[in-house]
Amino acid sequence: MNNLKRLLSLIVFSTGMALVSPAQHLIEIQPLFEYPVAPEELPTMYDKSNYIVEHFWDSFDLKSKTAVDQNALNHAFKVYATAMRFADREKTLNANQKLLNNLVKNPVLLLQFTKAAEETLYGPRAEFWIDEIYLQFLKGVTSNKKIAQNRRLKYDRQMKVIKETAEGNVAPVFHFKDRNGKDAFYRPMSTPTLIIFGDPWNTDWRLDRLKMESNLNLIQALDKGKVNILFIYPGDKEGWENQVSNYSEKWNVGKGENLEEIYDLRITPAIYVISSEGKILEKNVPLSVAVSSLLDKVTN
């Protein structure tokens, strides 16, 4: 019931929307159109969500619009995407592809929709991620020859990284410098591995690291060689070696460059759990979830 209330609370009609700027000034933004409401006779949130996903853009004239207010579009897309979370997967994919088919001849609007999708479904400020839907937009943008190549390049890189680091894929190899400045490579191995791409200056990460280093089960698994832990700083700020000098000697610690072109690092820390077969089991999950998943793979 709380999820249904959340879904309905996002549906705002012609009364307008109030956004708050960093300076805390209210900005009134009018909705692009009247958002659909699911018929009362539909009994469940699942049914209502399916209806909203399938009919959300019915009253929005996609063919005559050349460009729209981006903030208003972002809000509309957020409502649309919220319904996706509770709707049927195939219905959602089909409805979204129908939307993209209507945008293909309007490159400006297609780019605006892709920006809204990035904000809602992919970026670090997104409340939830739906990579499968976002990939539909990336495919639509990168294959559209009406969009300049330099505008498509960013999305092409995103698509490549999302696909190559999808759960179930073999973890990509990468080069890094270890804490002593020596060249090293990560290659998938026969031991379950936790990779943390993080910022050693981050206060929250420092607290999480202390919890990890006091986790008895994790310590024992490391001591027995049943798991591996890599902490990689994907940056170039001077003094990083000092920040990691007291990290556990049982961890592989280093610094890598241009890793965002290989791994999906949309958040910090970006955390991956790799199986003994070298496949990605979890990605970009909370550390507690990753550690639990890693320890589940430990064999006695």
Average of per-residue pLDDT across 84-112 = 96
Residues 11 and 159 in one domain: yes
Domain CATH for 188: 3.40.30.10
Residue 14 has pLDDT above 60, yes or no: no
Residues 150 and 183 in one domain: no
3-state secondary structure 155-183: HHHHHHHHHHCCCCCECCCEEEEECCCCE
By the 8 A CB rule, do 300 and 156 touch?
no
Order of all β-strands in the sheet with 183-186 = 183-186, 174-178, 252-255, 228-233, 193-197, 270-274, 280-283
Residues 34 and 129 in one domain: yes
Task: Provide the sign of the torsion angle of the four alpha carbons 282, 283, 285, 288, taken in this order.
Answer: positive
**Confidence grade of residue 30 (pLDDT, cut at 50, 70, 90):** confident
Residues 20 and 158 in one domain: yes
Domain limit, last residue, from 130, 164, 198: 164
Provide the domain count of the chain: 2
The amino acid occupying position 220 is Q
Domain limit, last residue, from 164, 196, 222: 164
pTM, two decimal places: 0.85
Residues 79 and 200 in one domain: no
Q: Domain range for residue 179?
A: 174-296
Residue 34 lies in a domain: yes
Residues 160 and 193 in one domain: no
Residues 221 and 81 in one domain: no
Residue 93 tokens read as: 């994919």
Query: Residue 1's pLDDT is what?
Result: 42
Residue 259 lies in a domain: yes
Query: Residue 179's pLDDT is what?
Result: 93
Phi, psi of 4 (to 5 degrees): -65, -40
Residue 18 has pLDDT above 50, yes or no: no
Domain limit, last residue, from 118, 134, 164: 164
Average of per-residue pLDDT across 111-122 = 97
Residues 186 and 48 in one domain: no
Q: Peptide bond preceding 234: is omega within 30 degrees of 0, i.e. cis?
A: no
Residues 155 and 181 in one domain: no
Average of per-residue pLDDT across 152-161 = 96
Residues 101 and 220 in one domain: no
Query: Residue 299's pLDDT is what?
Result: 67
Residues 50 and 107 in one domain: yes
Residue 253 falls in which region: left (phi positive, over 0), alpha (psi -120 to 50) or beta: beta
Residue 169 lies in a domain: no
Residues 289 and 194 in one domain: yes
Residue 146 lies in a domain: yes
Rounded Cα gap, residues 62 and 53, in angstroms: 16
